[in-house]
Amino acid sequence: MKPRFLALGALAAAGSVLVAGAARWRSATAALVGRLRAQAAADSLPDYVRTELDGLPAPVAQYFRAVLPDSGSPIRYARLEQRGRFLVRPTPEGWRPFTAMEHFTAGPAGFVWDARIRMLPGMHVKVRDGFVAGRGSMVASVLGLRRVASVEGTPAIAAGALQRYLAEAVWLPTALLPSAGVSWTALDAASARATLTSGGTTVSLDFHFGADGLVNRVYTPARERDLGGGRSAPTPWQGRFWRYEAWHGFLIPVSGEVEWLLPEGPQLYWQGEVTGVTFELSPAALPHSTPAPERVAPGPATPSAASAAG
């Protein structure tokens, strides 16, 4: 019987370690989200009105007219539930399902992405990306116990995180208004460049709009890509969005994908969908609600994120 008791004791000890690791991860995430929300509470955003669109490039003004109510309070905080698949190594077998919760604030710009990527049955990697108080960060940990990646506070991670925020601001579209600090420059009849400064970091992305006036692609010729071994290189990068739905009166895309544009061809590494949205407006708050019937914007067909997230 002694070996059996020893085995049970080992299992109990392992379980305690896993519980402790998960608790530490949740605590660190909660602290970062708390800092994110505190900076939003300390700031205020003005109500937006249609006259704010005067003078904007034509495709940008058309986009805002399509996705925003006529006037009202801007989104101060957003929480999005996501699921999909993530490329952990560049092979056809390298895709792994993930679930995530992402928190956003506007004024000042910030986000925290808390994801769980399933590697094997019973084994997952936790990833937390963020841009809070002008500082970018990325942490990855096996089971919340052993860090396998950690970068924070460098100019490169700040720029990459702010570029990501600007691209994902289509999920809280009032964050793209001039009153939220975004300046727009016309490129052509179907695209414009958005520029945002936060915490001493300035980034720009090119936004491309479809025939329906909605954003279907964002692009930059240079976003820092990790090459391993402490090396990185500026690399063309883009994200695509489609399948727009109405949430709390705002029209946002609920499907998307992101890829590096490498010399040998595109390397898709993130595909996902939004499964839940909570917005808090400034100063009022809105509870979670069911989306209105979807408006579909054409986009590439992808494997079901629901089945991938399993």
**Residue 2 maps to a domain:** no
Low-confidence ranges of the chain (pLDDT < 50): 5-15, 17, 284-310
Alpha carbon distance 271, 264 (integer Å): 20
Q: Could you tell me which residues are beta bridge partners of residue 155?
A: none
The per-residue pLDDT for 296 is 39
Per-residue pLDDT at 240: 98
Q: What is the pLDDT, as a whole number, of residue 230?
A: 76
Q: Which domain holds residue 29?
A: 14-309
Q: Say what the pTM is.
A: 0.85
**Residue 7: which residues within 8 A CB-CB, separation 6 or more?**
none
Task: Look at residues 99, 224, 215 and name the one whose alpha carbon lies nearest to residue 163.
Answer: 224
- The reported pLDDT for the residue numbered 2 is 54
With respect to residue 54, please indicate whether it lies within any of the assigned structural domains.
yes
Residue 290 lies in a domain: yes
- Amino acid present at 47: D
Total number of residues shown for the chain: 310
Structure confidence at residue 206 (pLDDT): 98
Residue 5 lies in a domain: no
Return the pLDDT at 238: 98
The reported pLDDT for the residue numbered 151 is: 87
The pLDDT, as a whole number, for residue 11 is: 40
Cis amide leading into 108 (omega within 30): yes
In a domain, 6, yes or no: no
Rama region for 275: left / alpha / beta (φ>0; ψ in -120 to 50; rest): alpha
**According to the model, what pLDDT value does residue 276 have?**
97
Quote the number of domains for the chain: 1
Residue 216 backbone zone (phi > 0: left; psi -120 to 50: alpha; other: beta)? alpha
Q: What is the pLDDT of residue 309?
A: 35
Whether 9 is in a domain gets the answer: no
Please provide residue 108's backbone torsions phi and psi, each rounded to the nearest 5 degrees.
-85, 165
- Cross-strand bridge partners of residue 300: none
Place of tokens 């067909």: 301
Secondary element (H or E) of residue 77: strand 75-87
Query: Phi/psi of residue 20, each to 5°?
Result: -65, -40
